[in-house]
Each structure stands twice: as C-alpha cells, then as structure tokens.
Amino acid sequence: MIRLRGVTKRYGEVLAVDDLSFDVEPGKVTGFLGPNGAGKSTTMRIILGLDRPSSGEVLVNGRPFAAYAEPLREVGALLDPGSVHSGRTGRGHLRVAARTNGLPLRRVEEVIEQVGLDGAARRRIKGYSLGMRQRLGIAAALLGDPRVLLFDEPINGLDLDGVRWIRDLLRRLADDGRTVLVSSHLMSEMEQTADRLVVIGRGRLIADATTAEILNGLGRRQVLVRTPQPVQLLRHLEERGFIASQLDGQDLQVEDRTAEEVGELAHKFGVPLHHLSDVQQSLEEAFIELTGDTVDYHGRPAEVTP
C-alpha cells in the first residue's frame, strides 16, 4: 500500500502539491489523473524519495521508500523512459540494475521476454523507438518482482498491440495482489483499466473514488427517453416530482432517476416509448467536469482564413 498524508511540496513560491492525502490499495489498479501541471509527476517523485516533501508523510508498505535497503525488490517504477544510458544495450542496462540491487541475472532474461524485447535486447538503446524505451522501462520496474509499482504515462509511444499488452499487464499485476499506481492522460484506457481513480488539480485532491462512481457523476444519474408524446410524458413526470426537460424533438432527459422508474411511470399512463436508457458519461466527460476550474493552459480554436 502507498499512503500519503498532508503532503505539500513547494519550489520557491510555486506550490506544486498542496496538502495531498490518499491511499493506493493493493489488488487494484489506481489511475492518477490531472491536467498538465497538476502535480502528478511531482507526487510520484515524492513517493519514490526523489523529491523531499515540504511537509507531510509518504509511506510505502508502512515505511518511507528511502528506508528500504533493496528498493527494487519493494517498488518498481517507470517515470521517464529517456533517463537511461543510450550507449548501453537494453540487456546491459537491465544487468547493471540487477547487479546494483542484488538481483539474480536470470531475472534480466525473464523480464526481457515478459515485455517483448527479445529481438532488441542486444541493440544499443540510442536506436530504440519511444515504444521500445517504454518497454525497457517497464522491464526495469518489474526486475525485482516488487509488490508496489508506479507507472507515469506508460502507454506513450506504444502501438495498438503494446497498448493492449500494458492494459493486460496492469490488470494481471493488480489481480496478483500488487499495488499499482498509473498516471495517464488517455482517459479511454483508464476507463477500461482502473478500478479506482485519484484526480488532482493544482496540487490538491479533487476526487478519490471508484471508476464507477466517477463515471456515474459521483452519485448523479440521468435517463434519456424518446416518445411520440413528449409533452404528455413531461407533464406526468413533473406532476410526480421528477426533474425533467425536453431536448430536441421527441427526446426527454430525466435527472436523478433510473430507467426503470421512468418506464413504469410511462406505462402507468399509457405513454408509448421508443427509447429508454440510463445515461453514463464517459471518463473524459467526467474528467473535464471535475478539473475544468483547475486547467492552467487552454488552447484556442484554430482560425480559418478564407
């Protein structure tokens, strides 16, 4: 487990992380989300002891990360796939990491095979693509067979096969009871992979909930209904305290109710329905709604000149 309590980090006058507290539990994939500049990478560096918090405490399995004599056996991490000696081969890079952490060299061959770098292990890293460097970084994170793993944007640079592979890998690691924290800007992948989401903005906690809770608007529900009698159905709904509004044409939107409740009411009054469904927002929509006030960098639509 990873536990943060009241973690704050300042760089001069810049407040990068602001009184941040959350837990990352074993057996789950926890997605770590936030806009650019939200403090995600800084938080992960603090967890790994690469940055010291200005205040607060971080514990990994009950101890500060710096207290572990053989850290790769406890925590594996991929923060920057480019932070490697480009003149070494992929195998050489992993062998150095194994030797300096007291790990058997057989683990090098095992993780090379696990991440699919068999054909490139003898090549120098300077010739690797971004996707290959990502796989090498993941191999290094897995080298000590740790119970805690942190990945910062692990999908960047991977092709479709690589994306599916990392999705399955994260799932298997969590199902094995490991603690998995993943930072990503790819909402569609987090929606498919993460069991729980921690969302931050400007260094502060915005949401800490299951993916299902966030997708359901943290308790908000909506129903979309289509009927050839929208005015009649709207009147029946409002008379019984339903919050409803008419959209375009024959469509109505009902707030904080279930499709079953709306369907039963329509049946009671003999109103025919052509469509009835609970509406679940995408993670991208939920993320924008949660973080809209904390985005520091906004793009502008491109101007089209005639």
Residue type, 24: V
pLDDT of residue 156: 85
pLDDT at 183 over 80: yes
Cα dist. 144→45, 100, 106, 118 in Å?
Answer: 19, 11, 11, 19
Domain chopping of the chain, boundaries:
2-213, 222-280
Contacts of 216 (CB under 8 A, 6+ apart): 280
Mean pLDDT, range 235-241, rounded to an integer: 94
CA-CA distance, 136 to 132, in Å (whole number)? 6
305 band by pLDDT with thresholds 50, 70 and 90: low
Question: 153-178: per-residue pLDDT in tens?
Answer: 998 888 888 899 999 999 999 999 99
185 band by pLDDT with thresholds 50, 70 and 90: confident
The mean pLDDT value of the chain amounts to 91
Rounded to an integer, what is the distance from CA 22 to the centroid of its chain? Answer: 14
Contact predicate 1/61, CB 8 Å: yes
pLDDT at 290 over 90: no
Q: Which of 129, 151, 124, 130 is nearest to 140 (CA)?
A: 151
Q: How many residues does the chain have?
A: 306
pLDDT of residue 207: 92
**Which residues share a beta bridge with 210?**
196
Of 47 and 188, the one with more pLDDT: 47
C-alpha radius of gyration, the chain, whole number: 24
215 band by pLDDT with thresholds 50, 70 and 90: confident
Q: Which of 34, 71, 292 is nearest to 185 (CA)?
A: 34
Sheet holding 275-279, edge to edge: 243-246, 251-255, 222-226, 275-279
**DSSP string computed for 154-205:** TTTT--HHHHHHHHHHHHHHHHTT-EEEEE-S-HHHHHHH-SEEEEEETTEE
Contact predicate 94/111, CB 8 Å: yes
CA-CA distance, 139 to 90, in Å (whole number)? 10
User: DSSP character for 304?
Assistant: P
Question: 26-84: per-residue pLDDT in tens?
Answer: 999 999 999 988 999 999 999 999 999 999 999 999 999 989 988 899 999 999 888 88
Contact predicate 223/262, CB 8 Å: yes
Residue type, 155: I
pLDDT at 295 over 80: no
Question: 109-133: per-residue pLDDT in tens?
Answer: 999 999 999 999 999 999 999 999 9
Which H or E element spans position 152? strand 148-152
The residue assigned the tokens 């790769």 is 72
pLDDT of residue 172: 96
Pick the CATH number of 222-280 from 3.30.70.100, 1.10.20.140, 3.30.2010.10, 3.40.50.2300: 3.30.70.100
CATH superfamily of 2-213: P-loop containing nucleotide triphosphate hydrolases (3.40.50.300)
**Which residues share a beta bridge with 267?**
none
pLDDT of residue 296: 60
CA-CA distance, 170 to 292, in Å (whole number)? 28
